[in-house]
Amino acid sequence: MISSSGDETLTIEKLRAEGMRLGLVCGHCHRFRYLNDSRFADTETLGDIAKKLTCNRCRSTDVEAVAVSRDPKTGYWPAERS
């Protein structure tokens, strides 16, 4: 489940503690990719991270860092999309 609403203040430390993964969604080309959360400090928020990144595919700065959790029904992580 990709969760974006109200997540801007979620820290990397809290994201890891809740067993979630860090994802990036591009508002321009709608690409969704997972990010390696070890690149970021525990105190960084999703909002802070999104301000630093661009989409690798279309180079848009209209990106959102999102918290991603496993699908509660299947237990699988959502698939990336390009």
Phi, psi dihedral angles at 13 (to 5 degrees): -60, -45
The pLDDT of residue 82 = 86
The pLDDT of residue 2 = 73
4 confidence band (pLDDT: 50, 70, 90):
low
- Listed by start position, the domains of the chain span 2-68
- Beta carbons within 8 Å of 57's beta carbon, 6+ residues apart: 26, 29, 31, 82
